[in-house]
Structure 1
Amino acid sequence: MSIGALCAGPLLAEPAIGLWQTQPDRKNLISHIQVTRCGDKLCGIVLRAFDGSGKDVVTRNVGKTLFWDLESLGGGKYGNGTVYVPLLDVTAKASMELRGDQLRVTGCKGKICDGQTWTRVR
């Protein structure tokens, strides 16, 4: 086995990679976010959006990158990334914490932080 194969193992098994469902936002929309590897870090793209009844809706955010450059810090924690907050049209410092099938995503702008807990879809 090559050294590259040994090093790639933990990267391939990144537990936060997958499809996540957001909590309803202030407009009562729910999104599906695909978390993938972007180089050696994680990023998330808005795949779909739904209204309160679960009906697909088209928004300007579908297809957009929601966060990028998140690094695994170990123990289910991620940090040092950037998140785009569409409702406020701002970027903020991003962090995440994985607990089972729940992913707490937080954005901080200065000392003000806010976030959501997402649920794994797959």
Structure 2
Amino acid sequence: MKKFALITTALVFSAGMAAAADPLEGMWRTAKDDNGNSGLIKVAPCGAKLCGTLIKAYGPDGNEMASENIGRQIISETVNDGGGKYSGKVYSPDRGKTYKSKLVLSGATLNVSGCVLGICRKGGTWKKVN
């Protein structure tokens, strides 16, 4: 009986740990790109890493617009490095390039930057959407 109680306690504890969401998970509004467009990204687990999919696109006027990138993974292969820092990949629709990314989470803001072939770019500050 004691053994059963220990196993049950361990299973409940590990299930609680697995259910804890990473602070990066959720909806994020991107900064405007070179064309003045922005997007709504849904970040969720994909395997042991985090990915972010473009859910909506917005034009320079802030109104929702059609985009061939809806449904595309904008954030991929992203891992929590601790202390609010993340690394992975970010796709930039305005340039058609995937950058090795650095993400820094601070409360409800996410500073995005990345490099490809030694060329680095700041992706601006994304805002958490409730």
In which range does the TM-score fall when normalised by the shorter chain? 0.7 to 0.9
Q: Aligned partners of 2:12, 2:73: CA distance in 1, in Å?
A: 29
Equivalent residue letter for 1:13: A
User: Where do 5+ consecutive residues of structure 2 fail to align?
Assistant: 1-8
Equivalent residue letter for 1:51: G
Equivalent residue, structure 1, for 2:84: 76
Q: Aligned partners of 2:72, 2:30: CA distance in 1, in Å?
A: 15
Note if 1:40 corresponds to 2:57.
Answer: no
Q: What is the deviation of 1:56?
A: 1.2
Structure having the higher helix fraction is: 2
Q: Moved runs in structure 1, 4+ residues, more than 6 A?
A: none
User: Where do 5+ consecutive residues of structure 1 fail to align?
Assistant: none
Greater radius of gyration (CA): 2
- Check the 8 A contact 1:70/1:95 in 2, yes or no: no
Equivalent residue, structure 2, for 1:28: 36
Identity of aligned residues (%): 34
RMSD: 1.9
TM-score for the superposition, normalised by structure 1: 0.87
Question: How many pairs does the alignment contain?
Answer: 121
User: CA offsets, 1:25-67, max 9 Å, x none?
Assistant: 1211121011111111111100001123322100111110112
Equivalent residue, structure 2, for 1:87: 94
Equivalent residue letter for 2:61: S
Q: Aligned partners of 1:47, 1:78: CA distance in 2, in Å?
A: 21
Q: Aligned partners of 1:84, 1:21: CA distance in 2, in Å?
A: 15
Equivalent residue, structure 2, for 1:63: 71
TM-score for the superposition, normalised by structure 2: 0.83
Secondary structure of the structure 1 residue equivalent to 2:81: strand
Q: What is the deviation of 1:112?
A: 2.2
